[in-house]
Chains A and B, each alone.
Chain A
Amino acid sequence: DTEVTQTPKHLVMGMTNKKSLKCEQHMGHRAMYWYKQKAKKPPELMFVYSYEKLSINESVPSRFSPECPNSSLLNLHLHALQPEDSALYLCASSQLTGGQETQYFGPGTRLLVL
């Protein structure tokens, strides 16, 4: 089973709203990732958590705040977003094997900021 789940599937929010995206995996993977993908572009890495600790932040604006409550869950808290933040937000997970990690993606949350 290589399933990563994400909720919600779709989200529409105003620029003053606060919302959260959720991601869950039960594969025992110890690395989890957030990506942002704009139309006709490849995914762009935002954050990496390894063993529930933030290991990579790709200079993401502070209006995006990740959280990893435990080894199975990953959240992305959103606040004061801009219309240009509208995109597909992808969560992925992988085992940590020292260089041969295979990342499995969830179905994504399609976010529209009005």
Chain B
Amino acid sequence: QKEVEQNSGPLSVPEGAIASLNCTYSDRVSQSFFWYRQYSGKSPELIMSIYSNGDKEDGRFTAQLNKASQYVSLLIRDSQPSDSATYLCAVNDYKLSFGAGTTVTVRA
């Protein structure tokens, strides 16, 4: 059974700080990894995709992938109140498997 696990939340960070989200997955053959942001009552919105080991940066977001450790993370730098949402880690093999999500609250 494929599993995707995220660090339990909720995660509360002050405005301007770095929010760090972690995710592990059980299936070694997984090839593609995604972070989605979901605001309350809205649908998931893709914020990052990563396929190769290492770091990928997009604005204030950095995704890190380590396939040997089966670990993917997301860093949000200079956190803003608008970053308050649930972040879903997703791993794609023949289908997209989601973690339970980590709820982030950025305190002004």
Where the two chains meet, the residues of A that have a C-beta atom closer than 8 Å to any C-beta of B are: 2, 33, 41-43, 45, 48, 56, 88, 90, 99-108
Which residue of chain A has the shortest Cβ distance to B51 in the bound complex? A100
- In angstroms, Cα B34 to Cα A43, docked, is 14
Which residue of chain A has the shortest Cβ distance to B49 in the bound complex? A102
**Inter-chain contacts of A45 with B (CB < 8 A):** 95-96
Indicate if B31 sits at the interface (CB-CB under 8 A).
Answer: yes
Q: Is the CB of B32 within 8 A of A103?
A: no
Which residue from A33, A90, A102 sits with its C-beta under 8 Å from B46? Answer: A102
Q: List 22 A-B contacts (CB under 8 A).
A: A42-B100, A42-B101, A43-B88, A48-B95, A56-B94, A56-B95, A90-B44, A99-B31, A99-B32, A99-B92, A100-B31, A100-B32, A100-B51, A101-B92, A102-B32, A103-B34, A105-B36, A105-B44, A105-B45, A106-B43, A107-B43, A108-B43
**Inter-chain contacts of B44 with A (CB < 8 A):** 43, 90, 105
**Inter-chain contacts of A106 with B (CB < 8 A):** 43
**Inter-chain contacts of A105 with B (CB < 8 A):** 36, 43-46
- In angstroms, Cα B54 to Cα A60, docked, is 38
Q: What is the size category of the interface that chain B forms with chain A?
A: 20 to 34
Indicate if B60 sits at the interface (CB-CB under 8 A).
Answer: no
Q: Top 7 closest A-B pairs, CB basis?
A: A42-B98, A99-B31, A105-B43, A108-B43, A100-B32, A105-B44, A107-B43
**Inter-chain contacts of A56 with B (CB < 8 A):** 94-95
Which residue of chain A has the shortest Cβ distance to B94 in the bound complex? A56
- In angstroms, Cα B46 to Cα A2, docked, is 10
Q: Mark B12-44, 1 if CB is under 8 A from A, else 0.
A: 000000000000000000011010100000111
Which residue of chain B has the shortest Cβ distance to A55 in the bound complex? B94
- In angstroms, Cα B73 to Cα A35, docked, is 24
- In angstroms, Cα B45 to Cα A104, docked, is 7
**Inter-chain contacts of B45 with A (CB < 8 A):** 105
